[in-house]
């Protein structure tokens, strides 16, 4: 459990993040290759990643396939 000082620091951090705008995007992906064991990975972007990045721009972190990543829609 956070003490009063840590809790206050956390509130300030959250408020500052809110003032900056929205947090960087995340994307959940799965690999559809039959031989791949990856069932899900979550990608965390920095603020510098273009808005139009898609699974077509990425490769599977497990098997290396460049064509089998699919975004998981929650």
Residues 42-64: pLDDT tens digits?
988 777 888 788 899 999 999 99
Which percentage of the chain shows pLDDT scores above 70? 69
State pTM to two decimals: 0.60
Helix (H, G, I), strand (E, B) or coil at 65: coil
Residues 26-37: pLDDT tens digits?
889 999 999 999
């Amino acid at each position: 459990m956070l003490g009063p000082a840590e809790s206050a620091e956390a509130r300030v951090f959250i408020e500052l993040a809110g003032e900056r705008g929205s947090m960087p995007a995340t994307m959940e992906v799965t690999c559809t290759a039959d031989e791949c064991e990856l069932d899900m990975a979550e990608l965390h972007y920095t603020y510098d990643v273009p808005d139009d990045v898609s699974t077509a721009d990425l490769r599977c972190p497990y098997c290396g396939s460049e064509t089998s990543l699919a975004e998981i829609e929650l």
